[in-house]
Amino acid sequence: MKRVIIVGAGGFGREVFCWAKDHPDYGSAWVIAGFLDDNPRALEGFNYEVPVLGPINDHQPTANELFLCGIGAPAVKRAACQPLIDRGGVFLTLVHPSVIMGQNIQLGQGVVLCPGVVLTCNIRVGDLALINCLSSAGHDALIGNWATISAHCDMTGQTELGEMAIMGSGARILPGKTVGPRALVGAGSVVLGNVPADSKVFGNPARAF
């Protein structure tokens, strides 16, 4: 049986722990061995049955291990997870049982789909992308590697979220619009036009900050 290790023992890492325990493979194909986190006291005050196993950069992956990303911020998760991949680590793609997916959905390595996510059809989700609770993506949407979609977001049809971009909680992208790599769409914002790479937009309509 494989050992699954969650990278990051902060708030989202603890959520991933809960969603992983809901998966039908939990206890049959793999068990959760613990967390990797640079803070050895990250779980103090919380009631979790597995420990922090040690710092992220000190861990050498083995053939019997799989990893789950428990970090939301794109730059932070890439900095934490890419070295593990470079050392041979394999990231598990986690799809919560409540997720709804239509036809022709492509999921990359290490994707995390949280409860209530809806992906309609002909959607590509890149490696280590995260889609948080109750968010949706419409037909022909493209979600880049390392991107993060927070809870209650809506990517409508033919939209694109670039590599390492992030949508804050409740953000929406109107049909056919593109959010460039490493861009930030603030919580509650509505994207009516294309958002350039490396920019930050907020509001309804979303404007550069």
Domain with residue 62: its CATH number is: 3.40.50.20
**Is there a domain that residue 185 lies in?**
yes
**Is there a domain that residue 203 lies in?**
no
**Is there a domain that residue 32 lies in?**
yes
**Is there a domain that residue 156 lies in?**
yes
- Domain co-membership, 52 together with 99: no
Q: What confidence score (pLDDT) does residue 168 get?
A: 98
- Domain co-membership, 123 together with 100: yes
Sequence-ordered list of residues with C-beta below 8 angstroms from that of 76, at least 6 positions apart, any chain: none
Question: Domain range spanning residue 25?
Answer: 2-92
Q: Check: CB of residue 164 under 8 Å from CB of residue 180.
A: no
Other beta carbons less than 10 A from residue 4's beta carbon: 24
**Is there a domain that residue 112 lies in?**
yes
**Is there a domain that residue 56 lies in?**
yes
Is the pTM for the entire model greater than 0.95?
yes
**Is there a domain that residue 44 lies in?**
yes
- Domain co-membership, 68 together with 103: no
Count the domains in the chain: 2
Q: Decide which of 35, 59, 92 is a domain's last residue.
A: 92
Q: Decide which of 63, 92, 121 is a domain's last residue.
A: 92
- Domain co-membership, 33 together with 106: no
Q: Decide which of 71, 92, 113 is a domain's last residue.
A: 92
Q: What confidence score (pLDDT) does residue 209 get?
A: 77
Sequence-ordered list of residues with C-beta below 8 angstroms from that of 11, at least 6 positions apart, any chain: none
Residues of the chain with pLDDT under 50: none
Residue 176 has φ and ψ, to the nearest 5°, of 80, 0
Q: What confidence score (pLDDT) does residue 68 get?
A: 98
**Is there a domain that residue 24 lies in?**
yes
- Domain co-membership, 73 together with 121: no
- Domain co-membership, 37 together with 80: yes
- Domain co-membership, 87 together with 112: no
Residue 86 has φ and ψ, to the nearest 5°, of -65, -25
- Domain co-membership, 113 together with 169: yes
Tokens for 133?
A: 């609770």
SS3 per-residue string spanning the chain? CEEEEEECCCHHHHHHHHHHHCCCCECCCEEEEEEECCCCCCCCCCCCCCCEEECCCCCCCCCCEEEEECCCCHHHHHHHHHHHHHCCCCECCEECCCCEECCCEEECCCCEECCCCEECCCEEECCCCEECCCCEECCCCEECCCCEECCCCEECCCCEECCCCEECCCCEECCCCEECCCCEECCCCEECCCECCCCEEECCCCEEC
